[in-house]
Amino acid sequence: MELLSQMLQLLFSGLTLGAIYALIAVGFVVIYNVTGILNFAQGEFAMLGALISISFVNMNVPLWLAVILSIIIVAAIGGIFERTAIHTARKSSVTTLIIITIGVSIALRGLAILIWGTQVQTLPSFTDNTPINILDAVLLPQNIWAVGISIVILIIMMYFFNFTFVGKSLTACVVNPFAARLMGINPEKMSLLAVIVSAGIGALAGSVIAPISGATYDMGMMLGIKAFVAAVIGGLTNAPAAIAGAFLIGIIEAFTEGLWSSGLKDVVTFSMLLLILFIKPEGLFAKASGKRV
């Protein structure tokens, strides 16, 4: 019984961590799918989302409105970032573009220090946060929010990419940009759209995490790296697979920490990344196909 409750507790923690990574990993995948670049500023969108939400709440804006406003603002920042940094350099090699995103992430972090300073800030929970007891393991409503939101995003993304015209157009851009152009799809517009969407999702992720762990200017980096690992493990081109990868990472981390040692959890995560890259570089959940990886 005690063992069961411990396992259940670890599973709950793993799912929460997984949900957080998933929301950021989705952003990675959306941008990668459309532009072919890895956006290392993705974690910074989460940081901005969290801190902007907190600022609004401190101005006595209701929490739900604060989160929505923050998503809109960060999406706009994402748009500006795409137009100024990515669009102007779109003729450069992918490597250059990736390095630009790293530069932007450092710039955003610097900006956040100037605006919010280095102090930790916190956001109230979305709803009353009384722990729920299940078989002696505790589950917090905020954790349910985190998991719930990422599942909803997962469903929306699947629907969006497979059943809507815009989603299909986005996919078309990466499969064959030239053919997509012939079909009347404008890859440049699609690139802008992709960055805006993933910045918005990132902001949502940040707002979900802030009540759990607090928010600081430097929270984005580690989140971004873990989410990147999740996305690679899932397969970079597939949003649902990236989300599955994120949950996998979260659960493995929780169990490593709970049964072994917390110092080793990053070791396990990154070893997994290396292993996947060696053995199955197209991602755990990718079907064998002729598509580029």
Residues at the interface with another protein (CB under 8 A):
2, 6, 9-10, 12-14, 16-17, 20, 84-85, 88-89, 91-92, 103-104, 106-107, 110, 113-114, 118-122, 131, 138, 140, 209, 212-214, 216, 219, 222, 253-255, 257-259, 261-263
Complex with another protein: residue 186 or 213, whichever CB lies closer? 213
Tell me the closest approach of the beta carbon of residue 131 to another protein, in angstroms. 5
134 strand-pairing partners: 137
Distance CA 255, CA 115 (A): 37
Q: Provide Rg for the chain, Cα atoms.
A: 19
Tokens 């981390």 identify what position? 253
- On the 0-12 / 13-18 / 19+ scale of CB atoms within 10 A, 202 is buried
Cβ at position 120, least distance to another protein in Å: 4
- Smallest gap from Cβ 290 to another protein, in A, equals 34
- Least Å distance, CB 210 to another protein, is 11
Long-range contacts of 274-281 (CB under 8 A, 24+ apart): 276/232, 276/233, 277/232
Buried residues in 42-74 as b, exposed as e (16+ CB within 10 A): bbbbbbbbbbbbbbbbeeebebeebbbbbbebb
Nearer to another protein, 105 or 169 (CB): 105
Nearer to another protein, 66 or 212 (CB): 212
Q: How many Cα atoms sit within 13 Å of 293 on the Cβ side?
A: 17
Q: From the CB of 20, what's the least distance to another protein, in Å?
A: 7
16 vs 207, which CB is nearer to another protein? 16
**Least CB distance from residue 84 to another protein, whole Å?**
6
**By C-beta, is 82 or 161 nearer to another protein?**
82
Choose between 13 and 238: whose C-beta lies nearer to another protein: 13
